[in-house]
A and B are shown apart, each in its own frame.
Chain A
């Protein structure tokens, strides 16, 4: 550190070394530390560390011609129906006319269902169809799409819900 050369008396210690009058340069740093930490807390609270991320979604083109449409074996499909209060209903393959394969679950249980279905199906036939109903929220739709990413489902689609399915949802909601 640079030292101020203060002249003044005192005996010489050696050639060229002047001994100045000793002034204490100790500053009480406590208030400064206080201030420092106060500002730190302020910045910690105001900072936004996590940048929002973006989830990509490519929509399929609506095709009128049947030959352009993707053909999926009905047996390889898993249909998720999103309903209100974060409920998920699902069925495998085609919906049985009596609704016997129509089951209910929640978002935690549905992951296992997707994994099971994926395991038991030929990969080229496997497809998940997501049908949010009118009372489901945007969060539900994003969660369902996220579930596709999590479980590495290659083919999935968001499709409009059918009336039959809506009625089944209504019926099973009413049953509880």
Chain B
């Protein structure tokens, strides 16, 4: 038997093109990516067909977590309003907050989730301590002591004269009474407009909204 020596040919592939594509995609993803800010409050929001992007500025955000606890936060850019809000609450309820406490609240990502009585000790906590502490949320369910009402009044004062976006971010699993209590707090302060943060969802085919959207698209195409 003659020995067959299989000649292995190397198959050099030009990687340049592939490299180009890879880095093009890489550049695209780097530029478009927006890291999720590590949120202290894990909330799974429901889906809706709404296609309006949630505002990021001048936001007063009410978060309802899965246990129905209510938290309040203000967007980081609005330090002036944040300060005014806390000072207002401080004066109204004679909490005796110090300058340092208020500074703590001004830190990025801070949120309020305790009754007034515990606010001072709560604000003194460092972020690391905060993670370990169990907090109970702003009391809302007791209709005689819905503290969110006062928070909202203070927020209205703090944002007086400028636009305020009132956002509600609720967890799928949270029960309705918390949401109702939040709405009641808004209503008491004549805040009749608010927005709920949701995840986008496709409009179900064949429904009225779907047909309307199709019609709008058709008109836009015809206008071009």
Residues of A at under 8 Å CB distance from B? 28-30, 32-33, 36-37, 39-40, 43-44, 46-62, 82, 111, 115, 132-143, 145-146, 149-152, 158, 160
Q: Contacts of B36 on A, CB cut-off 8 Å?
A: 46, 48
B38 contacts chain A at the CB level, 8 A cutoff: no
The segment from B22-30, B93-101, B106-114 found at the interface with A is B22-30
Q: List 18 A-B contacts (CB under 8 A).
A: A29-B18, A32-B15, A32-B22, A36-B19, A54-B195, A54-B198, A55-B195, A57-B194, A59-B192, A59-B194, A62-B187, A132-B176, A138-B171, A145-B48, A146-B49, A149-B49, A151-B207, A158-B183
Interface of B is mostly: mixed
Q: Is B46 at the interface (CB under 8 A from chain A)?
A: yes
Which of B50-58, B75-83, B128-136, B148-156 is near enough to bind chain A? B50-58
Contacting pair A58 B50 (CB below 8 A)? no
B50 to chain A, nearest CB (A): 4
**What is the number of contacts between chain A and chain B, taking CB atoms within 8 Å?**
172
Q: State whether B15 touches A33 (Cβ < 8 A).
A: yes
A31 to B190, CA, bound (A): 62
Indicate which residue in A33, A47, A132, A152 contacts B32 across the interface (CB closer than 8 Å): A47
Within the assembled complex, what's the spacing in Å between the Cα atoms of A82 and B210? 25
Contact of B50 with A149 in the complex, beta carbons under 8 Å: yes
Q: Which B residues are CB-close (under 8 A) to A28?
A: 15
A51→B200 CA distance, assembly (Å): 8
Q: How far is the CA of A49 from the CA of B32 in the complex (A)?
A: 8
**Bound Cα distance from A112 to B196, whole angstroms:** 25
In whole Å, how far is B40's beta carbon from the nearest beta carbon of chain A? 17
Count how many chain B residues have C-beta atoms less than 8 Å from C-beta atoms of the other chain.
60
B15, A29: Cβ atoms under 8 Å? yes
Rounded to whole Å, the gap between the CB of A8 and the closest CB of chain B is 27
Given contacts A54-B197, A57-B195, contact A43 B26 (CB under 8 A): yes
Determine if A142 and B170 form an interchain contact, defined as CB atoms under 8 angstroms apart: yes
Nearest-neighbor residue (CB-CB) of A82 within chain B: B176
User: In whole angstroms, how far apart are the Cα atoms of A18 and B137 in the complex?
Assistant: 80
Contact A59 B200 (CB under 8 A): no
Looking across the interface, which residue of chain A has its beta carbon closest to that of B22? A36
Q: Are B174 and A52 in contact (CB under 8 A)?
A: no
**Given that A57-B195, A136-B175, A137-B173 are known contacts, is A32 also in contact with B19, CB under 8 Å in the complex?**
yes
Residues in B with CB closer than 8 Å to A44 are: 29
Among the interface residues B23, B187, B212, which one has the most CB atoms of the partner chain A within 10 A?
A: B23
Tell me if B167 counts as interface (CB < 8 A to partner A).
yes
Contact (A152, B209) CB under 8 Å given A37-B22, A51-B53, A53-B199: yes
Residues of B contacting A43 with CB < 8 Å?
26, 29-30, 33
CB–CB A56/B176 < 8 A: no
Is B34 among interface residues, defined by CB-CB distance under 8 A? Answer: yes
Interface residue ranges of B3-47 to A (CB < 8 Å): 15-16, 18-19, 22-23, 25-26, 29-30, 32-36, 45-47
In the bound complex, residues from chain A placing their C-beta under 8 Å from that of B177 are: 134
- Say whether B204 faces chain A, with CB atoms less than 8 Å apart: yes
The answer to whether residues A53 and B52 also contact, given A33-B15, A37-B22, A142-B46 and a CB cut-off of 8 A, is yes
Residues of B within 8 A of A151 (CB): 207-209
Q: Given contacts A29-B15, A32-B19, is CB(A135)–CB(B175) below 8 Å?
A: yes
Is A57's CB under 8 angstroms from B208's CB? no
